[in-house]
Structure 1
Amino acid sequence: MTLQIGIIGTGWFSKVHADILTRMEGVRVASVCGTTLEKAEAMASVYDATGYDKLEHMLDGVRLDAIYICVPPMSHGPIEEELIKRRIPFFVEKPLSNEMDIPLRIMEQVQQSSLLTSVGYHFRYQDAAQVMKQAMQEQNVGMALGRWMGGMPGVSWWRRQEGSGGQFVEQTTHIVDLLRFCAGEVTEVYAMAAQRSMHEKHEHVTVADVANVTLKLESGAIASIANTCLLPDGEGGAGLQFYTDTGVWDWTPERLLLPSAASHSMAGLEVPAGHDPYVRENEAFIHALRTGDRSLILSDYADACRTQEITTAAQASVESGLPVQLKFSRRLAR
């Protein structure tokens, strides 16, 4: 039986997922929902799908086996609640929202319904990330340093705090999630952020363009994650380094460098990122749809809520000037 998939959103990530899905045997992108009918029909025409400008019309118009939600942070909530009500499994791109209240409400409903979900933290699906996760279980991690450095995206909603939630919530969440994936849960967050230049160069910028966040892990290790969006195009980069008693494990989206003293077959060498993680996360979700086996999904909605709590706690710390204790994440981890 061919799986019928709907996509909400017409941006870049919607097309990434649609392209992958159309290459899968027995999977069809059947419908696309956008903010305007023109946008929806333009994207839908590429995949021989039907375009809609209202979610209810799409859900009433065709039987769908699952939905991909690829919308800006401030647009979450009503979409997920409608899908839960209709018991339609969904894959949602990060972040879950621009704040924490909506994800908590959605998570409770997901858990009550046992609905199949997956969240787009794609770095987890890299070969390099898998090697690093396994290695960190055997290392005495002292500290970690993470970064997400680049320029400011051009879309207007990203530049508004109430739209994106800020860079740490919208982009750097990937580094926070990888830290959790490899080294365990975070218990405390303290953050500082500032507007240095982008609010003077562009109109309606309310997000900070530099930030540094200190995190305490349940293991006792500490981490520092910095981000900026004030760099010229093409400059910067992302990464995560773990400092251990065997040396530095240095990850970037392209590879993992292992320290020479590591007790690992690849010690002193480079592990490439490996197979396309976007393909792998889609394969895991589609496999779960077909079989009911969720074991290949590396981030479901409840797990992603823990990452969301950390990123929104960082903003709360910026606003209060005080450290924030994380109780929710620790409760979920048990």
Structure 2
Amino acid sequence: MTLQIGIAGTGWFGMMHAEKLAKLAGIKVTAFLATSQQKADAAAQRFEGARGYDSIHRMLDDRKLDAVYICVPPFAHGEIESALLERSIPFLVEKPLGVDEQLPSEILKGIEEKKLITSAGYHFRYMDGTDRARELLRERTTLMALGYWMGSMPGVSWWRKMEGSGGQFVEQTTHIVDLLRYTVGEVSEVYAAYGNRYMGGVEEGVTVPDVGTVTLKLVGGAVATISNTCAIPAGDRSGLHIYTNKGVLELGHSGLIDIEAGRRTEYANQTDPYELENEAFLHAIRTGDVSRIRSSYADAVRTHQVTIAANESARTGLPVKL
């Protein structure tokens, strides 16, 4: 059975997924949705038999799709998911799910009513280092965690506006929030402090904070802080350090470092987490078995709620309970 896949969004993520999918046996990427017909056609011409569309409704009318990958900016969610729900078409959606809490909650209700297969693009969950960290944490007591996402401001205009991206904590640092939830546990309360230190004076139209720190209480009693900046020109890095009764687990893009009683053990990521994410989703579509999917839409909503709560806390100066 060959699965027919559509791609909504022709930016980096959309094309990355399309290229990986096109290499798989039994998969055909047949449709691309973009904000203009020209962009859609340019993407489609790279894949044999594919067509471009500037309307989700025309795309779904013209192509019989088994699934759609949604890879659009945070502000652009809503119409695409609604159209897919109407036709009961499974989808994988890249993070974040939106710029507020209301829209994802409404979409989730539709997903639950239809019992639709979904996946969210929290690929850190599929890293080998994450698997190993979860194994080690079964035998250790987590005390606290320190997370970070430090980098420069992306060059796209929508990212630097709160109504476009939701800010760095929602758009990028959501990965670290999700990794914290997946390895340590659920968040019960957040308190955030944001600042505008530099980028507003050197780039036009910046309304997102360029620094921030968020303190989180977890259900199991552990505490965490996650900080981010989008104002440094070099030295970018991201990750999560988990402090336990036996030492420190340092999780990052390259894998896991376990520092225990003076010993340092490294576990490098050997597999591509995006490929594992795709395999899990496609297996679910073919068989109905969703057990390999590590982040459903419902799970992603919980991560999204934490990041939106951080924005609310920074705005009001008060802690937010979840």
Normalised to the residue count of structure 1, the TM-score between the two structures is 0.95
- CA offsets, 1:87-133, max 9 Å, x none? 00000000000111001001111011100000000010011011112
Distance 1:180 1:37 in 2: 40
SS in structure 2 at match of 1:46: coil
- Which residue in the other structure is 2:43 paired with? 43
Distance 1:15 1:117 in 2: 20
- Which residue in the other structure is 1:17 paired with? 17
- Which residue in the other structure is 1:296 paired with? 292
- CA offsets, 1:57-90, max 9 Å, x none? 0000010000000000011112111101110000
8 Å Cα contact 1:137/1:183 also seen in 2: no
Q: Provide structure 2 residue ranges, at least 5 long, that are not aligned to the other structure.
A: none
2:315 pairs with 1:319: yes
SS in structure 2 at match of 1:258: strand
Distance 1:15 1:312 in 2: 28
Distance 1:272 1:78 in 2: 40
2:58 pairs with 1:62: no
Distance 2:58 2:40 in 1: 13
- Which residue in the other structure is 1:139 paired with? 140
8 Å Cα contact 2:128/2:255 also seen in 1: no
8 Å Cα contact 1:189/1:314 also seen in 2: yes
- Which residue in the other structure is 1:254 paired with? 254
- Which residue in the other structure is 1:330 paired with? none
Letter in 2 for 1:131: R
Letter in 2 for 1:222: V
- Which residue in the other structure is 1:192 paired with? 193
Distance 1:310 1:51 in 2: 36
2:98 pairs with 1:102: no
- CA offsets, 1:261-299, max 9 Å, x none? 49xxxx631001220001110111111111111111000
- Which residue in the other structure is 1:331 paired with? none
8 Å Cα contact 1:134/1:182 also seen in 2: no
Letter in 2 for 1:295: S
Match of 2:270 among 251, 274, 279: 274
Distance 1:135 1:84 in 2: 39
Letter in 2 for 1:78: E
Distance 1:174 1:136 in 2: 19
2:82 pairs with 1:86: no
Q: How does 1:138-157 map to 2 (within 5 A)?
A: 138-157=139-158
Percent identical residues: 52
SS in structure 2 at match of 1:269: strand
8 Å Cα contact 2:145/2:240 also seen in 1: yes
Distance 1:79 1:138 in 2: 43
Deviation at 1:251, TM superposition (A): 1.3
SS in structure 2 at match of 1:96: coil
SS in structure 1 at match of 2:45: helix
Q: Which moved more, 1:127-136 or 1:208-217?
A: 127-136
- Which residue in the other structure is 1:332 paired with? none
Distance 2:141 2:270 in 1: 26
Q: How does 1:174-189 map to 2 (within 5 A)?
A: 174-189=175-190
2:304 pairs with 1:308: yes
Superposition RMSD on alpha carbons, in Å? 1.0
Letter in 1 for 2:305: E
8 Å Cα contact 2:127/2:255 also seen in 1: no
Distance 2:132 2:261 in 1: 16
Normalised to the residue count of structure 2, the TM-score between the two structures is 0.98
- Which residue in the other structure is 1:329 paired with? none
8 Å Cα contact 1:212/1:224 also seen in 2: yes
Q: Give the 4+ runs in structure 1 shifted more than 3 A.
A: none
Letter in 2 for 1:58: M
Distance 1:185 1:169 in 2: 17
Distance 1:93 1:226 in 2: 22
Letter in 2 for 1:321: G
- CA offsets, 1:241-260, max 9 Å, x none? 01111011111111211123
2:120 pairs with 1:124: no
Letter in 2 for 1:292: G
Distance 2:95 2:244 in 1: 30
